[in-house]
């Protein structure tokens, strides 16, 4: 347990950041799953909108430092290949 005022504040801030980061990652995973479901259903109208959502979610997570830049590039590449195959 933290004894100093600044240590208590850092603990509060870390908990707040942890919550926000987990929400961002959860939203990213949800968007990717929805996108893959649309690909399986071959819904061409929904795929474009969903791809934009996945792209922005990946960029946001990368900007925040939650995922690495290479992971974002690799994921976008594989998802765009799936999009182009339909």
pLDDT score at 52: 93
On average, the pLDDT of the chain sits at 93
pLDDT over 80 (residue 60): yes
pTM of structure: 0.83
Query: Measuring CA to CA, which residue among 72, 70, 36 is closest to residue 57?
Result: 72
Q: How buried is residue 22: exposed, middle or buried, by Cβ count under 10 Å (0-12/13-18/19+)? A: exposed
Q: With DSSP H G I counted as helix, E B as strand and the rest as coil, what are the percentages for the chain, rounded to 5?
A: 85, 0, 15
Which parts of 1-86 are beta strand (E)?
A: none
């Amino acid at each position: 347990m933290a004894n100093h005022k600044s240590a208590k504040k850092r603990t509060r801030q870390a908990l707040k950041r942890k919550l926000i980061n987990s929400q961002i990652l959860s939203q990213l995973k949800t968007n990717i799953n929805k996108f893959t479901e649309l690909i399986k259903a071959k819904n061409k109208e929904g795929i474009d909108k969903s791809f934009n959502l996945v792209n922005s979610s990946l960029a946001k997570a990368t900007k925040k430092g939650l995922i690495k830049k290479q992971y974002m590039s690799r994921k976008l590449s594989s998802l765009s290949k799936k999009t182009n195959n339909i």
